[in-house]
Each structure stands twice: as C-alpha cells, then as structure tokens.
Structure 1
Amino acid sequence: MFRIHFTQRDVSAVRILAEPAPLWEITLSCHMLAKRNEDPLLAGWHRTARGTLQQGLPLRDSVDLFIHLNWAHGDFPDLLTPGPAVAGVDDGLEVVARTPTRQLTQEVSTVGRQRGSLMTAARDLAAGRADAMGQLVTGMRDYFEAVIRPQWPAVTASFGADLDMRTRCLATGGVAAMLNGLHPSVRFDGSVLTITDYPGDRDLHLEGRGMVLVPSFFKRRTRPLTLIDPQLPPVLVYPVDRSAGMLAARQTEALSALLGRSRAAILELCAVGGSTTSIAAQLSQSPSTISEHLSVLRNAGLVASDRRGNAMLHRLRPLGTAMLEGQAPGGTAG
C-alpha cells in the first residue's frame, strides 16, 4: 500500500500536466512492449512496434542500453523520466544527459541488483562515462522517432480529452473528486491519498511541495505510479482513456494525407489555440519547424496568427474549422 500525505497547502497546489510528457511515454511504452498486449486498441501498434525494434539491427543496437535499464519487471531509474516541468523530447533528453554521476551510480546499481547483472554500457553509465550517456540519449531519441512518433496524434488527442474531463471534475467536485476519479485503486480522504494495490508499504509526505498529475497514454491500466526518490518533485502518473485518442487519430488520417501529418496535427492544436512554443512542445518539434508549417497554413487561409507580447498565438480561421470538421464552409460532409 502507498500513502501520500497532503497538507492543506499541498491540496491547493495539485495540478495536472498541461502537455503530454514524451519521456514518460517513451519509458512506459517500453514496458508495454515487454509484455503481451492487454489493450485491443493498441494491438496494431504493439505488433508493428515490436517488429520495428526486432527487425532493424541499427535501431536495435541503438536502443539496447535504454531497454536494458528500463526493466519492465521492477523499479526503473528515475533518471529516465526527469521533472514534470520538462516539455518536449529534446529538452527532456538534455536533462537526462545532465544527470549527476551520483544519481547514475545509485540508480543503475539498483537495476543491476534487480537483474542480477549489468551490460558493459550500463556499468560505464554508472561510472559517469560520457560515451555511455551519449548512447542512452541517442537510443531514447531513436526509440521515440521509431515507436512513439507515429502514435503521437493519438497520444495528444487522448491527453486532451483526459485534461478536459479532469478540469470539469475539478470545477464541479473539487480536488478530492478529481483525485478519487484517477483510478479504482486510488482513495483520497482529504489529507491522505491511498493506492491500495501498490507493491510493498510506503509513505510519501509532500510537505508543501504539491503534486503534479501526469496523464499517460502508454501507462498500463494498473495502479498509478510515482518516482522512487521521495526528494524529487512529486508526480503521480495514471493511465488515460485511449479510445478518444484512437478515434480522433483515425478521423484525421484523411486530413493527414491531404496536408501531411505534421500540418494536420498543428491544425488540430490551433482549434484550441496556442503559441508556437506550446505547439512545438506538444508535437516534439522545434519552434522553427512549427513556424514554417504555420506559415503554409496561414497562407492557405486555414490559420490566423496574432502577436501577444513575446508570443505568437494561433487560431483557426473558418476555412480551417470547416476542414477539420470534414465539411465545406456552409455545407455538409460529403
């Protein structure tokens, strides 16, 4: 059983991550691939992703260290999933690359005790060798591009649907109602959040730090999880309902074929408004690349952009809304 102790300050400081966390999705999806698929919605992804990792020798060699450390049958290193404030793959991997040697040694050694042994590259990583860290970071980036990137529209759609639902729950029932609705294993009584089927017996005292809720597309349907080190910023990672994202992804296939996957995804994000930086973070692309795509969409009359302070904010124009909804302006879908 796992008990998380809240002060009144902690209750008021609970927040939900505003954008998907790519490094959590990278890490947790790897756990799913290590086991039999349990979700029919992910059957196609599971089969394709495993085939991609098994058939391509350069990719398999690249991700070997990451998969070795990210063991699906025990505790995995906190260093793979840095703080909740990190947005985007590149920013997250920069934080991973700066992991202190002391943390590397401690967390990689724990993996070694669980597995019974460590591969040579993992021992080099535990010693703080730069080439081993480079191998880990490269492997995580290659894994994202090969395994996660094709699924990212479904990830963002499911994340957005979950965020909307939690926000409504918070507005109508408060923090307690939102926390109690995260998962059947979660119970919150106003001061202690209990996860009933957590392995072992553990207590975490927030002590005024608050907690960040991290919705995850690739989190298995089992109980929520948190970081091992109680001194790190507290997070609680829970699974989202994937059906909304999978449906949205299927509905945008035709749009992606017309505009290209990146521009179709940008058009969807403009439906709720956002800055160049926020769109880039959600799609794990550089702001300059997003700006180029937005320029094309703007010239086509699909998107309007307005400067607010230092940020450029983007929204759909009527033609963009009509295209996103699959209909001509003033007409019906054909």
Structure 2
Amino acid sequence: MLRFHFTPEDLTRLRIATAPHPLWEIAASLHRFQTHEGRWAYAPWYRTARSALSTTGLDRAVRTVLLPLFPRASYFPDFLTPADGAAGLDAGLESILAAPDRQVAREVTKLREIVGAPAWTRKLTDGPMREQLVRALRAYHHAVITPFEERIHERLHAERTRQTRTLCGTGIEGVLNTLAPSIRWRPPVLELGNYPTECDIHLNGRGLLLIPSYFCWNTPVSLADPDLPPVLLYPLHHSPAAPQGADGHLPLHALLGITRTGILRAAATGATTTEAARHAGVTPTTASHHTTVLRDAGLITSHRHANTMLHALTPLGASLLQQNGTRSLL
C-alpha cells in the first residue's frame, strides 16, 4: 500500500496536470504491451502500435532497450519520468540527458536488484548510451503515441471537466475519493490499496500533482524516491462502447434515437464533439447537430476550450441515464 500524508497546506497545493505528460504516457503505454489486462480498452491503439513498430523497425528497440527499462513491475527508474516532462516531450528528453550520473547509476542498480536488467544498462551513465536511449524514446513516441495525441488530449480535457464538476459539487474530498477504485481518502491520508510496495510519503507542504493518464490501467503509479516532487499518475475512466442494440438502452433509444443515446453516454465523463462522434459512430458534423438538440433539451451543457467544444451532462441528463441503467461517472 502507498500512503500520501497530507497537511492542510498540501490540500491547498493539490494540482491536476493541464496536459498529458509524454514520458509517463510512454511508460504506461509500454506496460500495455506486457499484460492482457484492459486490452479491450486499447484494442485500436494496440493494433496500430504493433503495426507501426513492425513497419518502422522499432520493434527490436522496444524489446531490447525500452521494455527492460520500463518493466511492468514494482519498480522502474525515476529519471525516466522527470518533472520537466510536463512541459513537453523535448523538455522531458533533455531532462533525461541532464540527469545526474549518480542518480542514474543508483536507480539502474536498484532496477537490476529488484527486477533485473541487461548488463548494458550500466552504461546509461555514459552520454552516448543515454543519447541512444533518448533517440529510441523519441522514435517510439512519434510512431505509437503521436497518432493518438488528439484522442489523448480529448480524454484529458474530459477528465478535467469531470474533476471540475466534482470539485464544485463535493470539494477536494470528492476529487480525492473519485480518482480510481483503488484509491481511498481517509483524512489526512490518501491510500492506494493495491500498490505493489509498502510506502509512506509525507508531503510536508509540497502538495501533490495529479496526472491523469490515458495509458495507465487500473493501478496508479508514483515515483519511488519520496524526496522527488510528489506526483500520482492515475488512470482515466475507460468504458466499452455498448452495442447499439443493447437491450438495457432500448427505452432511451426509443426516446432519443440510437445516435443521441450514444452521444449522451459519451458526455457522462465529459466528451468533445469528435470523441462523442467516435462513440456514436457518426461524423463530427452529425454529432454537432445532435449535441445542439441535446443541449436545447437541457440534457447536456457545452463549453468551448480553445478550439475544442466540451460536452458534459446536466443533472437532468445524468438522471435520465441513471434511470435507464447507465451509471454516471460524474
């Protein structure tokens, strides 16, 4: 179990990342190749990624370089997910190159002791070997994550919308209690029940950065070193698209039609017009027409964020879904 110990000051310094952290997403996506858990949620990405790695010849680098450094296990090195990565891929990769040799040596040694790692990892304190690693990380991101960046950003915007509604409705306590099923807020401690190691992190006024992750599945992740800036990577909500003829939604289908029902369900966790369109199996133009109808009926609200329109349920819309067998995540 992992426990974050909060002070009152830490609660005022709780933050949610405003953009995907590319290096954490690289780490979490590499974990998806190492398990069948949650494969249904990433099926389109998995197929596309496997094809891209094979076509570009990166599959060997992933097997021999990246997977040994990012095992889906109780530990992988902290220097691979630096705080500077919040500013983007380039900033994060520069931080990996600039990581102190002593830190890299210590963390690689820990990886070998806890999980096991190839002998070449000892050379990561050398500039040329770390540059090779950075090239592999950049190529991997370009091949398998960049094509899905639009969807990843959409899901993150939807999560921030969900958390904003939770904050307005139930405060910080509500936010901390709805991060993931395995996370429990027992004031003043945030507990991660299924964490692979036993650890207590005393925040001591440093606050906590919450990083919602598209590729993180089921088990949240944190840095191993308690002296580093505290972060908690937690999984976004994923829900399988129900078959359009699912019996549980026949009353809604009769009332709203299949397409509007699909769009309403997509709005349960917050959705952009493009994401709602994918969920309902229609074009964005068609989805835009239906969101207007749902908005005029008082079932959803829509707010513009930069060039993106975000849709969320109103209390009436949430009640309608709940009464027809769909559990709202708001």
TM-score calculated relative to the size of structure 2 = 0.72
Aligned CA RMSD, in angstroms, stands at 2.8
**What CA distance in whole angstroms lies between the structure 1 residues aligned with 2:84 and 2:14?**
13
Q: Matches of residues 1-334 of structure 1 in structure 2 within 5 Å?
A: 1-36=1-36, 38-54=38-54, 56-57=56-57, 60-61=60-61, 64-83=64-83, 86-120=86-120, 122-125=121-124, 128-222=125-219, 224-242=220-238, 248-249=274-275, 251=277, 271-273=304-306
Instruction: Sort the Cα spacing of 1:94 and 1:254 in 2 relative to 1 into closer, same or farther, 3 A.
Output: farther
Cα distance in structure 2, aligned partners of 1:237 and 1:2:
13
1:86 partner SS: helix
2:22–2:86 CA contact under 8 A, matched in 1: no
Distance 1:52 1:167, change over 3 A: same
Superimposed CA distance per residue, residues 30-85 of structure 1 (whole angstroms, 9 cap, x where no aligned partner): 00112225242311211231243345435633774222211123311111111167
User: CA distance change for structure 1 residues 117 and 155 in 2, over 3 Å: closer, same or farther?
Assistant: closer
User: For the residues of structure 1 that align with 2:134 and 2:230, how far apart are their CA atoms?
Assistant: 24
1:152 to 1:33, Cα distance in 2 relative to 1, 3 A = same
SS of alignment partner, residue 30 of structure 2: helix
2:290 matched residue in structure 1? none
Partner Cα separation in structure 2 for residue 221 and residue 233 of structure 1: 23
* Equivalent-residue separation in structure 2 for 1:39 and 1:59 (angstroms): 19
Note if contact 2:22-2:85 (Cα within 8 Å) is conserved in structure 1. Answer: no
The unaligned stretches of length 5 or more in structure 2 are: 240-265, 285-302, 312-330
SS in 1 for 2:305: coil
Structure 2: which amino acid aligns with 1:154? R
Q: Structure 1 151/246 Cα, relative in aligned 2: closer, same or farther at 3 Å? A: farther
After superposition, the Cα gap between the structure-2 partners of 1:84 and 1:5, relative to the gap in structure 1 and judged at 3 Å, is: farther
The 1:17/1:58 distance shift into structure 2, 3 A limit, reads closer
Q: Percent same amino acid among aligned pairs?
A: 36
Structure 2 distance, partners of 1:84, 1:61, is 24
* Structure-2 separation of matches of 1:190 and 1:48: 43
Amino acid across the alignment from 2:226: P
Gaps in structure 1 of 5+ consecutive residues: 256-269, 274-314, 326-334
Normalised to the residue count of structure 1, the TM-score between the two structures is: 0.71
When residues 247 and 123 of structure 1 are mapped into structure 2, their CA distance, relative to the original with a 3 A threshold, is farther
Query: Cα 1:195–1:188, aligned 2, differ >3 Å: closer, same or farther?
Result: same
The answer (yes or no) to whether the contact 2:177–2:184 under 8 Å persists in 1 is: yes
